[in-house]
Amino acid sequence: MKNIAIVTGASSGIGNAFLKLVCKERGIYNSIPFDEIWAVSRSADKLLEATSSIGDERIVPVTADLTDPGDLDEIALRLQDECISVGLLINCAGAGFKGYTEDLGIDNVGCQVELNCVALSKLTRICLPHMIDKEPPYSLKDGPRIVNVASSAGFLPQPGFAGYAASKAYVISFSRALSYELAPYNIAVTTVCPGPVKTEFQSKATGGQSAEFTGIRKYVAADKDKLAKAALKASKAGRKMFVYGFSQKALHVASKILPSDLILSIESKLITVPEVNTYSEGDNVVTPLPVSSKEESV
Ligand SMILES: NC(=O)c1ccc[n+]([C@@H]2O[C@H](COP(=O)([O-])OP(=O)(O)OC[C@H]3O[C@@H](n4cnc5c(N)ncnc54)[C@H](OP(=O)(O)O)[C@@H]3O)[C@@H](O)[C@H]2O)c1
Protein backbone atom coordinates (compact mmCIF):
# COMPACT_ATOMS: atom_id res chain seq x y z
CA MET A 1 0.00 0.00 0.00
CA LYS A 2 1.27 3.45 -0.97
CA ASN A 3 1.72 5.87 1.94
CA ILE A 4 1.29 9.50 0.92
CA ALA A 5 1.10 13.06 2.22
CA ILE A 6 -1.33 15.63 0.77
CA VAL A 7 -0.65 19.36 0.93
CA THR A 8 -3.29 21.75 -0.44
CA GLY A 9 -2.44 25.30 -1.45
CA ALA A 10 1.02 23.97 -2.30
CA SER A 11 1.69 26.33 -5.21
CA SER A 12 2.44 29.35 -3.06
CA GLY A 13 2.85 30.88 0.39
CA ILE A 14 2.45 28.80 3.54
CA GLY A 15 1.35 25.67 1.64
CA ASN A 16 4.53 25.74 -0.43
CA ALA A 17 6.60 26.19 2.76
CA PHE A 18 4.82 23.11 4.18
CA LEU A 19 5.52 21.17 0.99
CA LYS A 20 9.28 21.81 1.20
CA LEU A 21 9.32 20.56 4.80
CA VAL A 22 7.15 17.53 4.11
CA CYS A 23 9.69 16.38 1.53
CA LYS A 24 12.07 15.95 4.44
CA GLU A 25 9.41 14.30 6.65
CA ARG A 26 9.09 10.68 7.55
CA GLY A 27 5.80 8.92 6.90
CA ILE A 28 3.29 7.09 9.03
CA TYR A 29 4.74 5.37 12.14
CA ASN A 30 7.57 7.90 11.92
CA SER A 31 9.76 5.43 10.06
CA ILE A 32 9.12 5.19 6.34
CA PRO A 33 9.37 8.33 4.17
CA PHE A 34 6.24 9.10 2.16
CA ASP A 35 6.05 7.28 -1.18
CA GLU A 36 4.34 10.26 -2.77
CA ILE A 37 3.55 13.83 -1.77
CA TRP A 38 0.49 15.22 -3.52
CA ALA A 39 0.76 18.96 -4.05
CA VAL A 40 -2.70 20.39 -4.75
CA SER A 41 -3.75 23.71 -6.26
CA ARG A 42 -5.70 25.03 -9.25
CA SER A 43 -3.00 26.45 -11.45
CA ALA A 44 -0.93 23.75 -13.22
CA ASP A 45 1.74 26.28 -14.24
CA LYS A 46 2.21 27.75 -10.78
CA LEU A 47 2.27 24.26 -9.30
CA LEU A 48 4.90 23.09 -11.75
CA GLU A 49 7.07 26.12 -11.10
CA ALA A 50 6.70 25.83 -7.33
CA THR A 51 7.37 22.09 -7.18
CA SER A 52 10.17 21.82 -9.75
CA SER A 53 12.34 24.15 -7.68
CA ILE A 54 12.06 21.68 -4.76
CA GLY A 55 13.32 18.88 -7.00
CA ASP A 56 11.85 15.90 -5.12
CA GLU A 57 10.63 13.24 -7.54
CA ARG A 58 8.04 11.99 -5.03
CA ILE A 59 6.01 15.19 -5.51
CA VAL A 60 2.87 14.55 -7.57
CA PRO A 61 1.28 17.80 -8.78
CA VAL A 62 -2.52 17.51 -8.50
CA THR A 63 -4.29 20.27 -10.37
CA ALA A 64 -7.68 20.63 -8.72
CA ASP A 65 -10.15 23.36 -7.85
CA LEU A 66 -11.16 22.19 -4.39
CA THR A 67 -14.46 24.07 -4.65
CA ASP A 68 -15.37 21.92 -7.66
CA PRO A 69 -17.17 18.72 -6.57
CA GLY A 70 -15.94 16.97 -9.74
CA ASP A 71 -12.30 17.64 -8.85
CA LEU A 72 -12.88 16.36 -5.31
CA ASP A 73 -14.51 13.21 -6.73
CA GLU A 74 -11.42 12.63 -8.86
CA ILE A 75 -9.16 12.83 -5.81
CA ALA A 76 -11.46 10.41 -3.95
CA LEU A 77 -11.42 7.94 -6.87
CA ARG A 78 -7.66 8.10 -7.17
CA LEU A 79 -7.21 7.38 -3.47
CA GLN A 80 -9.50 4.37 -3.79
CA ASP A 81 -8.15 2.99 -7.08
CA GLU A 82 -4.51 3.28 -6.07
CA CYS A 83 -5.21 1.74 -2.62
CA ILE A 84 -3.58 4.60 -0.78
CA SER A 85 -2.92 5.27 2.88
CA VAL A 86 -2.77 8.97 3.83
CA GLY A 87 -0.16 9.57 6.53
CA LEU A 88 -0.40 13.35 6.54
CA LEU A 89 -3.07 15.78 5.31
CA ILE A 90 -2.31 19.49 5.36
CA ASN A 91 -5.36 21.59 4.50
CA CYS A 92 -3.77 24.92 3.67
CA ALA A 93 -5.59 26.21 0.56
CA GLY A 94 -7.59 29.25 1.51
CA ALA A 95 -8.76 32.64 0.35
CA GLY A 96 -10.12 35.82 1.86
CA PHE A 97 -11.48 39.08 0.51
CA LYS A 98 -11.24 42.32 2.46
CA GLY A 99 -13.93 44.95 2.31
CA TYR A 100 -17.40 45.49 3.64
CA THR A 101 -19.70 42.65 2.64
CA GLU A 102 -21.98 44.93 0.62
CA ASP A 103 -18.99 45.96 -1.53
CA LEU A 104 -17.73 42.45 -2.29
CA GLY A 105 -18.83 40.33 -5.23
CA ILE A 106 -21.36 37.63 -4.38
CA ASP A 107 -18.95 34.94 -5.60
CA ASN A 108 -16.11 36.33 -3.48
CA VAL A 109 -18.28 36.14 -0.39
CA GLY A 110 -19.30 32.57 -1.29
CA CYS A 111 -15.78 31.47 -2.25
CA GLN A 112 -14.47 32.07 1.28
CA VAL A 113 -16.99 29.58 2.66
CA GLU A 114 -16.76 27.11 -0.23
CA LEU A 115 -12.97 26.87 -0.09
CA ASN A 116 -12.11 27.55 3.54
CA CYS A 117 -14.97 25.54 5.07
CA VAL A 118 -16.72 23.22 2.60
CA ALA A 119 -13.69 22.03 0.62
CA LEU A 120 -11.58 21.58 3.76
CA SER A 121 -14.31 19.48 5.39
CA LYS A 122 -15.01 17.42 2.27
CA LEU A 123 -11.35 16.66 1.56
CA THR A 124 -10.86 15.66 5.19
CA ARG A 125 -13.88 13.33 4.96
CA ILE A 126 -12.56 11.88 1.69
CA CYS A 127 -9.18 11.13 3.29
CA LEU A 128 -10.46 9.67 6.58
CA PRO A 129 -11.13 6.11 5.33
CA HIS A 130 -7.52 6.15 4.11
CA MET A 131 -6.23 7.24 7.52
CA ILE A 132 -8.33 5.41 10.09
CA ASP A 133 -7.11 2.09 11.44
CA LYS A 134 -9.71 0.73 13.89
CA GLU A 135 -6.98 -0.96 15.90
CA PRO A 136 -4.08 1.42 15.42
CA PRO A 137 -0.70 -0.23 15.86
CA TYR A 138 0.88 3.15 16.63
CA SER A 139 0.60 5.88 19.27
CA LEU A 140 -0.82 9.39 18.77
CA LYS A 141 2.76 10.65 18.38
CA ASP A 142 3.56 8.25 15.56
CA GLY A 143 0.19 8.00 13.82
CA PRO A 144 -1.27 9.83 10.81
CA ARG A 145 -1.75 13.56 11.17
CA ILE A 146 -4.06 16.30 9.93
CA VAL A 147 -2.96 19.93 9.96
CA ASN A 148 -5.73 22.44 9.31
CA VAL A 149 -4.65 26.01 8.66
CA ALA A 150 -7.13 28.37 10.29
CA SER A 151 -6.21 31.92 11.35
CA SER A 152 -6.28 34.19 14.39
CA ALA A 153 -9.02 35.96 12.38
CA GLY A 154 -11.23 33.11 13.57
CA PHE A 155 -10.98 34.14 17.24
CA LEU A 156 -13.41 37.03 16.85
CA PRO A 157 -15.83 38.54 14.33
CA GLN A 158 -14.01 41.00 12.08
CA PRO A 159 -15.88 43.87 10.39
CA GLY A 160 -14.32 44.46 6.98
CA PHE A 161 -13.21 40.82 6.79
CA ALA A 162 -16.45 39.32 8.09
CA GLY A 163 -16.86 36.26 5.88
CA TYR A 164 -13.20 35.28 6.13
CA ALA A 165 -13.11 35.58 9.93
CA ALA A 166 -16.32 33.54 10.18
CA SER A 167 -14.93 30.89 7.83
CA LYS A 168 -11.82 30.54 9.99
CA ALA A 169 -13.96 30.30 13.15
CA TYR A 170 -15.56 27.32 11.42
CA VAL A 171 -12.14 25.76 10.71
CA ILE A 172 -11.16 26.15 14.38
CA SER A 173 -14.39 24.62 15.66
CA PHE A 174 -14.47 21.80 13.10
CA SER A 175 -10.83 20.86 13.61
CA ARG A 176 -10.95 20.92 17.39
CA ALA A 177 -13.99 18.64 17.42
CA LEU A 178 -12.32 16.37 14.86
CA SER A 179 -9.27 16.01 17.09
CA TYR A 180 -11.51 14.37 19.71
CA GLU A 181 -13.39 12.25 17.17
CA LEU A 182 -10.12 10.88 15.81
CA ALA A 183 -8.22 10.49 19.10
CA PRO A 184 -9.37 6.84 19.52
CA TYR A 185 -7.62 6.06 16.23
CA ASN A 186 -4.46 7.90 17.32
CA ILE A 187 -4.82 10.46 14.54
CA ALA A 188 -3.58 13.88 15.64
CA VAL A 189 -5.45 16.94 14.37
CA THR A 190 -3.69 20.28 14.77
CA THR A 191 -5.43 23.61 14.18
CA VAL A 192 -2.89 26.22 13.14
CA CYS A 193 -3.75 29.86 13.88
CA PRO A 194 -1.27 32.39 12.52
CA GLY A 195 -1.78 36.13 12.42
CA PRO A 196 -0.59 38.03 9.32
CA VAL A 197 1.98 36.11 7.26
CA LYS A 198 4.06 37.52 4.40
CA THR A 199 2.63 35.77 1.31
CA GLU A 200 0.55 36.70 -1.75
CA PHE A 201 -2.54 36.41 0.44
CA GLN A 202 -2.72 40.11 1.37
CA SER A 203 -2.46 41.23 -2.25
CA LYS A 204 -5.19 38.78 -3.33
CA ALA A 205 -7.35 39.76 -0.33
CA THR A 206 -7.30 43.40 -1.37
CA GLY A 207 -7.80 42.80 -5.09
CA GLY A 208 -4.18 43.78 -5.74
CA GLN A 209 -4.52 47.14 -3.95
CA SER A 210 -2.03 46.39 -1.23
CA ALA A 211 0.70 43.76 -1.20
CA GLU A 212 1.98 44.78 2.23
CA PHE A 213 0.25 44.68 5.58
CA THR A 214 -0.51 48.08 7.06
CA GLY A 215 -0.94 49.48 10.57
CA ILE A 216 -0.21 47.19 13.50
CA ARG A 217 -0.18 44.13 11.23
CA LYS A 218 3.03 45.09 9.45
CA TYR A 219 4.90 44.86 12.77
CA VAL A 220 3.66 41.37 13.59
CA ALA A 221 3.65 39.78 10.09
CA ALA A 222 5.32 36.36 10.27
CA ASP A 223 7.68 34.45 8.01
CA LYS A 224 5.97 31.56 6.19
CA ASP A 225 8.89 29.13 6.49
CA LYS A 226 9.29 29.66 10.23
CA LEU A 227 5.53 29.31 10.69
CA ALA A 228 5.37 26.05 8.70
CA LYS A 229 8.30 24.58 10.63
CA ALA A 230 6.80 25.45 14.01
CA ALA A 231 3.36 24.16 12.93
CA LEU A 232 4.75 20.77 11.85
CA LYS A 233 6.62 20.51 15.15
CA ALA A 234 3.36 21.22 17.01
CA SER A 235 1.62 18.56 14.91
CA LYS A 236 4.31 15.98 15.70
CA ALA A 237 3.90 16.78 19.39
CA GLY A 238 0.18 16.00 18.98
CA ARG A 239 -0.93 19.54 19.84
CA LYS A 240 -4.59 20.25 19.13
CA MET A 241 -4.31 24.02 18.86
CA PHE A 242 -1.27 25.95 17.72
CA VAL A 243 -1.42 29.75 17.85
CA TYR A 244 1.69 31.24 16.26
CA GLY A 245 3.48 34.28 17.68
CA PHE A 246 3.23 36.24 20.91
CA SER A 247 0.83 38.89 19.59
CA GLN A 248 -1.62 36.24 18.34
CA LYS A 249 -1.40 34.31 21.61
CA ALA A 250 -2.24 37.55 23.44
CA LEU A 251 -5.19 38.11 21.08
CA HIS A 252 -6.35 34.53 21.68
CA VAL A 253 -6.35 35.01 25.45
CA ALA A 254 -8.01 38.44 25.15
CA SER A 255 -10.73 36.97 22.92
CA LYS A 256 -11.57 34.52 25.70
CA ILE A 257 -11.64 36.92 28.64
CA LEU A 258 -12.64 40.35 27.32
CA PRO A 259 -16.09 41.27 25.99
CA SER A 260 -16.12 40.88 22.19
CA ASP A 261 -17.67 44.35 21.76
CA LEU A 262 -14.75 45.97 23.55
CA ILE A 263 -12.17 44.23 21.34
CA LEU A 264 -14.20 44.94 18.21
CA SER A 265 -14.38 48.64 18.98
CA ILE A 266 -10.59 48.80 19.55
CA GLU A 267 -9.99 46.69 16.44
CA SER A 268 -12.15 48.90 14.24
CA LYS A 269 -10.05 51.93 15.31
CA LEU A 270 -6.76 50.16 14.53
CA ILE A 271 -7.65 48.53 11.23
CA THR A 272 -8.34 50.26 7.95
CA VAL A 273 -10.77 48.46 5.67
CA PRO A 274 -9.80 48.84 2.01
CA GLU A 275 -12.29 50.58 -0.21
CA VAL A 276 -13.14 47.96 -2.77
CA ASN A 277 -13.66 49.35 -6.24
CA THR A 278 -12.89 46.26 -8.18
CA TYR A 279 -11.70 42.71 -7.71
CA SER A 280 -10.24 42.04 -11.08
CA GLU A 281 -6.75 40.69 -10.42
CA GLY A 282 -5.73 37.11 -9.77
CA ASP A 283 -7.30 33.69 -9.95
CA ASN A 284 -9.28 33.91 -6.73
CA VAL A 285 -11.01 36.96 -7.82
CA VAL A 286 -14.51 37.50 -8.97
CA THR A 287 -15.93 40.72 -10.40
CA PRO A 288 -17.88 42.70 -7.82
CA LEU A 289 -21.57 43.01 -7.90
CA PRO A 290 -22.66 45.96 -10.09
CA VAL A 291 -24.39 48.73 -8.16
CA SER A 292 -27.69 48.13 -9.93
CA SER A 293 -27.74 44.43 -9.01
CA LYS A 294 -26.87 45.36 -5.45
CA GLU A 295 -29.90 47.58 -5.26
CA GLU A 296 -32.08 44.89 -6.78
CA SER A 297 -30.84 42.24 -4.40
CA VAL A 298 -31.46 44.22 -1.20
N1 LIG B 1 -1.03 35.04 4.73
C2 LIG B 1 -1.71 35.36 5.82
O3 LIG B 1 -1.64 36.49 6.33
C4 LIG B 1 -2.52 34.29 6.51
C5 LIG B 1 -2.83 34.48 7.87
C6 LIG B 1 -3.58 33.51 8.54
C7 LIG B 1 -4.01 32.40 7.86
N8 LIG B 1 -3.72 32.24 6.53
C9 LIG B 1 -4.22 31.05 5.85
O10 LIG B 1 -3.11 30.32 5.35
C11 LIG B 1 -3.53 29.57 4.21
C12 LIG B 1 -2.54 29.78 3.08
O13 LIG B 1 -2.54 31.14 2.72
P14 LIG B 1 -1.28 31.86 2.05
O15 LIG B 1 -0.98 33.04 2.87
O16 LIG B 1 -0.22 30.89 1.78
O17 LIG B 1 -1.98 32.40 0.71
P18 LIG B 1 -1.58 32.22 -0.84
O19 LIG B 1 -0.13 32.48 -1.02
O20 LIG B 1 -2.56 33.05 -1.56
O21 LIG B 1 -1.86 30.68 -1.13
C22 LIG B 1 -3.15 30.17 -1.30
C23 LIG B 1 -3.04 28.81 -1.93
O24 LIG B 1 -4.35 28.24 -2.06
C25 LIG B 1 -4.53 27.78 -3.41
N26 LIG B 1 -5.93 27.88 -3.77
C27 LIG B 1 -6.71 28.99 -3.82
N28 LIG B 1 -7.94 28.69 -4.23
C29 LIG B 1 -7.96 27.35 -4.45
C30 LIG B 1 -8.95 26.43 -4.91
N31 LIG B 1 -10.20 26.83 -5.20
N32 LIG B 1 -8.62 25.12 -5.04
C33 LIG B 1 -7.36 24.69 -4.76
N34 LIG B 1 -6.39 25.51 -4.31
C35 LIG B 1 -6.69 26.82 -4.17
C36 LIG B 1 -3.64 28.73 -4.23
O37 LIG B 1 -3.24 28.17 -5.48
P38 LIG B 1 -4.06 28.44 -6.86
O39 LIG B 1 -4.37 29.90 -6.89
O40 LIG B 1 -3.12 27.97 -7.94
O41 LIG B 1 -5.25 27.58 -6.76
C42 LIG B 1 -2.42 28.85 -3.32
O43 LIG B 1 -1.58 27.74 -3.50
C44 LIG B 1 -4.94 30.02 3.89
O45 LIG B 1 -5.86 29.07 4.40
C46 LIG B 1 -5.08 31.34 4.63
O47 LIG B 1 -6.40 31.59 4.99
C48 LIG B 1 -2.97 33.17 5.84
**Count of domains observed in the chain:** 1
Domain of residue 18, residue span:
2-297
**Rounded CA separation 145/128 (Å):** 11
Sequence letter at residue 106: I
Q: Is 87 in the pocket of ligand 1 (CB under 6 A)?
A: no
- The arithmetic mean of pLDDT across residues 178-203, rounded, is 96
Report the predicted TM-score, pTM, of the whole model to 2 decimal places: 0.91
Q: Please give the share of the chain, as a percent, with pLDDT higher than 90.
A: 74
**Rounded CA separation 99/273 (Å):** 6
Are residues 92 and 7 in contact, defined by beta-carbon separation less than 8 angstroms?
A: yes
Q: Is 212 in the pocket of ligand 1 (CB under 6 A)?
A: no
Q: What is the CATH number of the domain that holds 162?
A: 3.40.50.720
Select the more confidently predicted residue: 293 or 90: 90
For a pocket test of ligand 1, which of 6, 8, 14, 75 has the largest count of ligand atoms closer than 8 A to its C-beta?
A: 14
Q: Which atom of ligand 1 is nearest to the CA of 111?
A: 31
Q: Tell me: the pLDDT tens digits for 27-81? A: 776 667 899 999 999 999 999 999 999 999 999 999 999 999 999 999 999 999 9
- The arithmetic mean of pLDDT across residues 272-284, rounded, is 55
